[in-house]
A and B are shown apart, each in its own frame.
Chain A
Amino acid sequence: MHTRSVLPLLFVIISAQVMAQEISHEFGKISKDELTMKSYNKDTDAEAVVIYDIGETSFFLNNMDYITMAFERKTRIKILTKAGIGYADISVPYYVGKDDQEIVKDIEAVSYNSENGSFNVTHLDPKDIFDQKISANIHEKKFAIPDVKPGTVIEYRYRIESPYFVHLRDWDFQWTIPVEYSQYIAKMVPFYQYTYFLQGATKFDSLSSHEEDGVIPKINTDVGASAGSSVYKELVHTFVMRNLPAFRDESFITTDEDYLIKVYFQLSKVYYLHGGSENYLTTWPDLADKLLKNQYFGKYLNDCQKIASRMTLDLNTQDTAAEKKIGEIVNYVKSNYTWNGENSIYVSQDADAFMKSGTGNSADINLFLVALLNKFGFNAYPVILSTRNNGKIKSDYPYLPFFNYVIAGVPLGNSQGLFDASAINYPNNEIPIKCINDRGFIITKHSDQWIDLSRVNYLSKVQYSFNHDMTPDGDNVREKIVAEGQNAAILREDYPDEKSFVKERTDSRGSVDSVIFVNRDVRDKPFSIFFESHTTPDIIGKKMFISPFLDEPVSKNPFSSASRQLPIDLINISVRKFVAEITIPAGYQADYIPTPIHVDDSLAYIDYKCLHQQNRVMVIGIYFFKRNNFPAGDYQKLKAYMNEIIKSFNDKIVISKNS
């Protein structure tokens, strides 16, 4: 049974007099101000506000005398509207390893309500805490705080004891609701040295450090053994941020995780009691060397080199150009091995098992690709990176958990070719959109080399050609779409076959037939789609309104926000070209031909024009934004240009019967 108590509000008021100026961060000490708050004055639209969120990591000896890391958190949230009630449903993820695991304990949760002069306190019953297996290694403690409605203040706390001292928990200061006060205390013992860095802000509102005495009576751990007690100084760091606004999602960004204000921690060094130390965070060259020795990376790569050396592979190309040969090799891997949808820098199986199953994660596939490229003398190397949804590489500190993907790199003259054999819909010499993020680290012996992936900017083109045959029954159009690069990959993903294309286009056109795909599965060539459609143009009075580009151009501005705070990441430069030929039927004349526009500045290129000769009209439009990344300050200009594109590229030609 959970417990509930009803206390007279007077009690609270007395407390509130003391705390009205400064909200108490003591668990259970709720002020009248918090209970009666109707909206948050710094963000009146907020559905809830974090009053405090306080975390602390420290170390202690568990009952087996092993040093264990303890993470304690307590949080108080004011629920303001129905939309905020979801913040009372809590999940606490924890890690379960093969031989050891984290333990979540001391969960407490309380709701506080003030109603009709009473102060109701309702406690979570421990039997209402559920344990859920999310995956083999990730479990969650889940609970719903009882008696929560708009106006409720909720408070919860828990403790996680972890043997995985490598992973000192990072701390999110910013939430998707405003945060009044967030504090993280890291009590560092001298055995483990961590480094930290702050994301999303230039400094903490408050940062203090002091020493405290710490005593560990007996040490029986991997940092060393000691018969007697050890007295040492704990270094206590306190990080504080106040009055943080709610993080609101925006389009055209990599991932929220790149923009949230948070602090990251990395284990950098372990000191042993008996002397000596081990660097966890050393240098990038050391990290590269470690990875090359790792069973799930370098050893696999070596095994693949051996397997590759025994493989006979007839490349189709007679072309001796390196790019062509590499393309053939990438194509071979794409055609014969299958990505299982998982991203990783570590392989999921040994090389023999991968050869047998032919299916694997990005590391399984691309490390094999590196080996195969080397067999043909290309000096290939792995490049580790973080995919867009995994966020940017957070710091200059050598830290592997930042990375979640591996591709192959090959020096090509003065440049470097990058290849991903798991991206089957992309051209062989392009890496997919998800990989175009921040920078990649080249893994070779003693490497300190990076590739700036944000500068990888494949030109992606798509051209639409229309040949209009106007008849009294309507407009019969022969259309051709030719897409290259990313645009082709998107079309290949959208349309596995002609049938799917017909269905999609029929939904937007009157009828579609004679669809022919060319090079749908030949990923190194432009993907062409030929088809015919029949549409009925607008006929108003005696006038016929013809859409030269039909419904292919963008018709809704993707920059739909009124304002913009974050930079705009368009990933690639995408060139879109439209060419339409219209033969004006006999007996008709052109009443209106769209006016041309031409923009060519540092942001965009837009060119739209009509060439009208006798009974033929040719309409040509082309546009692209000149960079793949823009600062937020350019947002309104981009939006205005897109409006201009929508207006012009959807313009119509008007014809009428000769009078």
Chain B
Amino acid sequence: MPRIVFFCGMLLLGSGYQSYSQVIGAEVVDYSTICTLQKGDLSISTFLLMKINNKKGLDYADFEVPYKKGEKISIDQAWIMDGRGGVLQKLRAKDIADINATGDALYQDYFYKKFSLRYNVFPYWISLKFTTGAQEFLSICHWTPVYSQGIPVDTARLTVSVPAGYPLKIFQHNIEPYSLNRSAESDIYHWSSDYKKQIPDEIYSPSEDDLEPEVIVIPDKFQYGKQGEFSSWQSFGNWVYRLNEGLNDLPMSEKNILHNLLADKKTDVEKARAIYHYMEDHTRYIEITLNIGGMKPFPASFVAEHKYGDCKALSNYLMSALAFAGIPSYYTLINASRVPDFQLKNFPSQQFNHAILTVPLGKDTVYLENTSSINPFGYLGTMTQNRYALMVSDTGSRLIRIPALTPGEVETSRNSIIRIGDDNTAAAKIHYIFRGRGYELISELGNYENHGDQDALIRKNFTTGNFEVDNWKMEMPGRDSSFVGLALQASGPDFVKNFGPFRMLKYFNLGIPEFELPSIRSLPVFIPYPYKFCDTTTFLFRDSVSYESVPPDTLIESRFGSFSRKSIPGANSLSVYRVLLIRGGNYPLPEYDSLYNFIAACRSEDNRKLLFK
């Protein structure tokens, strides 16, 4: 359950996300970016010509231009124009607000210039140009022609101008190759693109970065706090290593505490576990983004004294504490997200937003998430599983593969005993065991929310129809168990419905997601981790019943997963066992029909009802 710090700052230029409209409220006519590297200074000028067609487009006339502390920024031109190019209004300096970026962080040295270019005669045009300048940078540009998901871009251009022969590394995808103009003074790269067809919002689709056209240009060598180079993951890791060098300054008082803590611990696993738990119990996550664009951790002494830090500071502190215990570990950069962004394995660059720790312990390697005070030792979870990460060391930095969560690690099990009254009321005892994402959510709810909010959320999310939670109890097992229990007692009228002589009841469903019809699906499917649900339900009837229709025993198997149901009807009881598995993975669009059919079949079976007298 990581808390994420975004190292790279904000890439968003404008605000105003709204659903794409058949009547387009706004459209970008020209979206041009010019990155100029001259005498070591990087200047990025962005020019935007936007047409606001009607009132629906006005949200796009509000702007927030981000910049970091130490960067120069200027709003060079901000005009409202008519269709003939005549200037109707110019933005005044006093109408630009200079605001701190906020969010969850205690403090970040990111800011933005905020202003509005609204007008009331439609259509009108906005001509905006702004420039940022930096002396130290890790990338020259990270560019996409998509200005905002909601509006089209007619023409987008990127120009990168560097001194002649300046060594660059370029990554591009979903875009035509660049053209290059060389002169004695400079090398000028040009890209052209557009964004005319909106990327739709579809369930389990790959990340936007994977779908959008994109260009990344980075210097071969850079100065960012310290000098470094992107020639390999090893060299970039070495820069991170040197940036962190000297930050392992555990104070003596902390060493004394650790010394006492480890006195009776014999193995490295015991020691590492004890230190991890000590950190969890004595520190808290607080994000403060300062120093080298947020890349450099606060030293171990800071965490030891303040008892708080962000992912970098806490990872560095833990690494220092483990080192004190004689256990080597490695600061590891990773990109934390539910849907992993596509990763440029062969393009060493700053692609990360989070830090964890890699600890080789004998034959095993343990990965430690350090921003949660409740994580089991060695549990990473759904935000960081199944992706590459950069393990940092002096000379041996390399990409490592974080293991994928298995079905067993994400399984939710539910065991219900439902007592049906003659009057069709029901009283249920339901016991969940959550793993994976469910574990993370319930565990966070149990630890970080107050009792009132816990109660409200459980009542809201664990009721169906007239069924109501009467009481509940979370069962937190040992701190290193990656599962959590939730026992519910629930009851309600009309759980069973009478239809003439028959009575019908519906099983609790298994939460199978609904996918778009194949006829409208346009994107491939990416399911980041498996979904597994095991359900056992026993219905107890007051008197003996006769069954009109019991959902039949069923097994659906496919390469996408499986669904099974087995029922054991008795005179006064019915037990139903169901298991659903949806496998994680990438499913290309040609496979969508088959996937959809599998999901639809499972949903159909999941909706079957029991009919009895």
Q: Which residues of A contact B (CB under 8 A)?
A: 1-2, 4, 45-47, 81-85, 89, 122, 128, 130, 132-136, 142-144, 146-149, 176-177, 246, 248-249, 336-338, 340, 356-359, 424, 496-500, 503, 506-508, 511, 536, 538, 540-541, 543, 545, 555-557, 560-562, 591-592, 643, 646-647, 650-652, 654
Contact = CB atoms under 8 A, between A and B. Distances in A.
Contacts of B609: 538, 540, 545
B120 A336 contact: yes
Contact of A498 (B22, B201, B497, B499): B22
Contacts of A249: 452
14 contacts: A1-B305, A82-B448, A132-B100, A248-B452, A356-B88, A357-B119, A503-B201, A507-B514, A511-B517, A541-B611, A556-B464, A560-B456, A560-B460, A562-B459
A135 B466 CA distance: 46
Contacts of B102: 132, 134
A89 B307 CA distance: 13
Interface in B90-113: 97-100, 102, 106-107, 111
Contacts of B514: 507-508
A93 to B, nearest CB: 12
Interface string B375-419: 000000000000000000000000000000000000000000000
Contacts of A540: 504, 548-549, 608-609, 611
Given A89-B106, A177-B450, 6 more contacts: A45-B451, A134-B100, A144-B286, A561-B456, A591-B499, A651-B497
B484 to A, nearest CB: 14
B190 interface: no
Nearest to A496: B21
B493 A538 contact: no
Contact of A147 (B307, B466, B611): B307
Interface string B482-506: 0000000000111001011010100
B419 to A, nearest CB: 19
Contacts of A654: 499-500, 502
A-B pairs, 7 with minimum CB distance: A358-B120, A45-B451, A592-B499, A130-B107, A359-B118, A541-B549, A146-B306
B308 interface: yes
Contacts of A496: 18-19, 21, 56
A500 B500 CA distance: 40
Contact of B500 (A47, A356, A561, A591): A591
B548 A144 contact: no
Nearest to A538: B609
Given A499-B22, A560-B459, A592-B499, A144 B106 contact: yes
B285 to A, nearest CB: 10
B308 A144 contact: yes
Nearest to A130: B107
Give the interface size class of chain B.
35 or more
B447 A82 contact: yes
Contacts of B493: 643, 647
Interface string B28-69: 000000000000000000000000000110100000000000
Contact of B118 (A148, A248, A338, A651): A338
Nearest to A139: B100
B607 interface: yes
A541 B608 CA distance: 11
A545 B307 contact: no
A133 B468 contact: no
Contacts of A650: 465
Most buried by B among A130, A148, A540: A540
B306 A128 contact: yes
A356 B87 CA distance: 13
B108 to A, nearest CB: 9
Contacts of B548: 540-541
Contacts of B611: 540-541, 543
Given A146-B306, A647-B493, A506 B516 contact: yes
A532 B516 CA distance: 17
Contacts, number: 173
B8 interface: no
B306 A2 contact: yes
B281 interface: yes
B575 to A, nearest CB: 19
Contact of B451 (A47, A128, A356, A647): A47
Contacts of A538: 607-609
A560 B119 CA distance: 45
B174 interface: no
Contacts of B545: none
B493 to A, nearest CB: 7
A312 to B, nearest CB: 17
B344 interface: no
A84 B448 CA distance: 8
B305 to A, nearest CB: 6
Contacts of B88: 356
Contact of B466 (A122, A543, A643): A643
Contacts of B456: 560-561
Given A83-B450, A357-B89, A560 B463 contact: yes
A274 B520 CA distance: 80
A605 to B, nearest CB: 20
A498 B21 CA distance: 9
B542 interface: no
B75 to A, nearest CB: 16
B216 interface: no
A176 B450 CA distance: 10
B121 interface: yes
Given A246-B452, A540-B611, A591-B500, A133 B99 contact: yes
A85 B449 CA distance: 10
B116 interface: yes
Contacts of A135: 97, 99
A497 B21 contact: yes
A556 B465 contact: yes
A359 B120 contact: yes
B500 A592 contact: yes
Most buried by B among A357, A499, A508: A357
Nearest to A44: B451
Given A47-B451, A358-B119, A500-B19, A85 B106 contact: no
A81 B502 CA distance: 51
Contact of A85 (B97, B116, B284): B284
A500 B198 CA distance: 14
B252 interface: no
Contact of B374 (A82, A503, A561): A82
A418 to B, nearest CB: 23
A47 B118 contact: no
A338 B373 CA distance: 47
Given A149-B307, A359-B119, A538-B609, A134 B281 contact: no
Interface string B439-470: 00000000111111000100110011110100
Contacts of A176: 450
Interface string B250-287: 00000000000000000000000000000001101010
A557 B459 CA distance: 11
B308 A652 contact: no
A556 to B, nearest CB: 7
Interface in B294-353: 305-308
B306 A340 contact: no
Given A338-B55, A358-B119, A555-B465, A146 B307 contact: yes
Interface in B541-556: 548-549
Nearest to A498: B22
Nearest to B107: A130
B23 interface: yes
Contacts of B517: 506, 511
Contacts of B492: 643
Nearest to B549: A541
A184 to B, nearest CB: 25
B500 to A, nearest CB: 4
Contacts of A134: 99-100, 102
